[in-house]
Structure 1
Amino acid sequence: MPTVSPAQRSLTLVTGAMLAAIPVITLVVWVTLAADGVGEFPPTWAPLVVLVAAALAYAFCELAGFRAPALEYSARPAAEIEAESWRRFTQSTFTRFAVCEGVFMLSIALAFVVDSFWVVLVGAVLALPLVAWEVWPGPRDQQRFAASLEARGTPSYLTGRLQD
């Protein structure tokens, strides 16, 4: 079984907490906004705005969210290169999270404009899988980001240490 680096363990823990915030905030907004249950479905434009925002967030994350300047070759120790790679990956993860979470935050604002909790539900249903797919620091995201860091041939050690 591959060992998990402390940086990966820490980032996974933080990402899990950020992901768990979406259902918690949804519940808090429900207590605030939905006095009579969920209410009537809002005008069509409001959920469509949230859907378009989710599509744009997905496109941004897929097209630009995993790009990073390639590592420069140097005689630095592997541990230092790995630490730099994890710093860059963490920064990219938080940027992707902010973009994906923006979909949910937009849905909350729109819910108060149209006075319907349905918009928050639509936002949560779109944001949860979007955050899970684009932000969770699993092998897919690590490999995509490592490929960007390793474009000039310098190993990033992001997906594990090479055998010495």
Structure 2
Amino acid sequence: MSSWFSAPQAVEDRQGRSLTLSVVGPAEVEALYPLELAAHSHPMPKSTLLGNLQRYRCAGLRDGERWLAFALVSVVVGEAELLDIVVDPAAQGQGVGRLLLEAVLDQLQGQAERMFLEVRESNDSAIGLYSALGFVEVGVRHGYYPAAKGREDAILMALELDWR
């Protein structure tokens, strides 16, 4: 993991804001958990987020001291999985998620051959983003996500990382 965002980087979003892209660790759980709560209809418990920050790679985008987004990634034997990507609802639709995911994909070059993710079948904006970045549907996990009225299917998507 030594090359995983070895130092904070300044990046510019499409609004011209200068943001900071950096590694996120367990110390940021208190700052990140409100984003998790706001962005997901069924957020993970704080203890799970903390455990994930301890176990997996996490990158985030900040505007000054305010976290706008974070992405949790697992890398095992040449395969990466996007476990969670969260964008502050106030920053959604502004290219923040795309900027973060592109940075994560760049970091994974040479570390993984492909990346997988699951997305709620109703999340059209996320599916559109993933498709625009080259992810393709490779399967469906029936009843994968809890939903307001029972369960919702997940679309399993994959991207070969030699695409850049």
Q: Which structure is higher in RCO with an 8 Å CA cutoff and minimum separation 6?
A: 1
Structure with the larger helix share: 1
Question: Which range, TM-score by smaller chain?
Answer: under 0.3
Tell me the TM-score normalized by structure 1. 0.24
| Max Rg structure | 1
> Counting strand residues as a fraction of each chain, which structure ranks higher?
2
